[in-house]
Amino acid sequence: MVNPWISRDITGKIWKTGVFALAMGFFEAIIVIYLRELYYPEGFEFPVKLIEPRIFSFELLRESATIIMLVCIGLLAGKTGLQQFGFFLFAFAVWDIFYYTGLKLLIGWPDSLLTWDILFLIPITWVSPVLAPVICSFSMIYMAMLIFAGETANKQFRPASYEWLIIISGAIIIFISFIWDYTNLLVKGGYLNELSSLITNEDFINDLTSYIPKYFRWGIFLIGEAVIIIALLMIHRRIANIRKKPSVAP
């Protein structure tokens, strides 16, 4: 299938990157299944179970390695810095979607898109219903496609500074929605000044192993998502206008 907005060369790389990210998503899902068999043989749910500091450090390394792999596929696939960023966004989004797809197909989890999950542990724990990161993934795919379409329409195309500012602002708002619950746990317990020793703090461990997230800040999340979509629609309109302009013969 040929998209007239995106060059054939980029389209080929999109398919290849997508296959890589899909396989990586299933690979990640299988690793998580192993971990859940060890710590949650009856099925994952909150409150979380305490794992040894050594295993926790391995989890941090695994998350870091995952991000590095996604960055590298972006660097390998893209010719320009903007393209590389676009392929990173695309790979990240496809990986995330098929991570959850893999878990659903292999072990029937999550029960629904509103099932809570731990998203990341870096720099602090992110939690939300599964639906939230899936929505983010589709927004990332949209942004990646706009980047590819913009460079196809005009090799000099770049999102404007104010568009980047709006996108970054929206991303920060979404990030706040993801860490809101866990940050409240740290603030209410007075643990912010003890971050380096939390893993050995008995009070924190008791709070953590009884913590059950109940209310996701959908309002904050949707504001952040809306801010990003506004910027992406602005970019979309600029690209459409570029494409309408007749090419000038040399």
250: pLDDT strictly greater than 60 = no
For residue 85, the number of C-alpha atoms closer than 13 Å in the C-beta half-sphere is 11
Q: Which of 88, 111, 84, 114 is nearest to 24 (CA)?
A: 88
Judged against a pLDDT cut of 80, whether residue 34 lies above it is answered with: yes
Summary mean pLDDT of the chain: 90
Q: Which residues does 189 contact at the CB level (< 8 Å), separation at least 6?
A: 203, 204, 207
Please determine, for residue 2, whether its predicted confidence score (pLDDT) is greater than 70: no
Higher-scoring residue by pLDDT: 186, 202: 186
* Among candidate residues 57, 58, 41, 39, the one with its CA nearest the CA of residue 49: 39
Judged by average pLDDT, the poorest of 149-153, 166-170, 223-227 is 149-153
**What is the rounded distance in angstroms from the CA atom of residue 250 to the CA atom of residue 184?**
61
Between these two residues, 5 and 103, which has the higher pLDDT value? 103
Which two tokens mark 100? 């959850």
Q: 55-99, pLDDT tens digit by residue? A: 888 888 999 999 999 999 999 999 999 999 999 999 999 999 999
The whole-number pLDDT of residue 130 equals 97
Pairwise CA distance, residues 177 & 175, whole Å = 5
At residue 178, the pLDDT reads 96
Give the pLDDT mean for 202-224.
Answer: 86
For the chain, give the percent of residues with pLDDT over 70. Answer: 94
**Considering only CA atoms, which of 169, 147, 141 is closest in space to residue 228?**
169
Work out whether the CA dihedral 58, 63, 67, 69 comes out positive or negative. Answer: positive
Q: Does the structure show a pLDDT above 70 at 246? A: no
Confidence of residue 10 (pLDDT cuts 50, 70, 90): very high
Which pLDDT belongs to residue 248? 45
Q: pLDDT at position 196, please? A: 64
Neighbours of 53 (CB within 10 A): 10
* C-alpha–C-alpha distance, residues 214 and 221, integer Å: 15
Look at residue 247 and tell me whether its pLDDT is greater than 70.
Answer: no
Q: What pLDDT, on the 0 to 100 scale, is given for residue 140?
A: 98
Instruction: Tell me the per-residue pLDDT of 124-140, one tens digit each, with 9 for 90 and over.
Output: 889 999 999 999 999 99
pLDDT of residue 1: 47
Give me the sign of the Cα torsion angle 28, 30, 35, 40: positive
Average pLDDT over residues 169-177: 98
Question: By 3-state DSSP, what share of the chain in percent is helix, strand and coil, each rounded to 5?
Answer: 70, 5, 25
Instruction: Give the pLDDT confidence of 21-31 residue by residue, as tens digits.
Output: 999 999 999 99
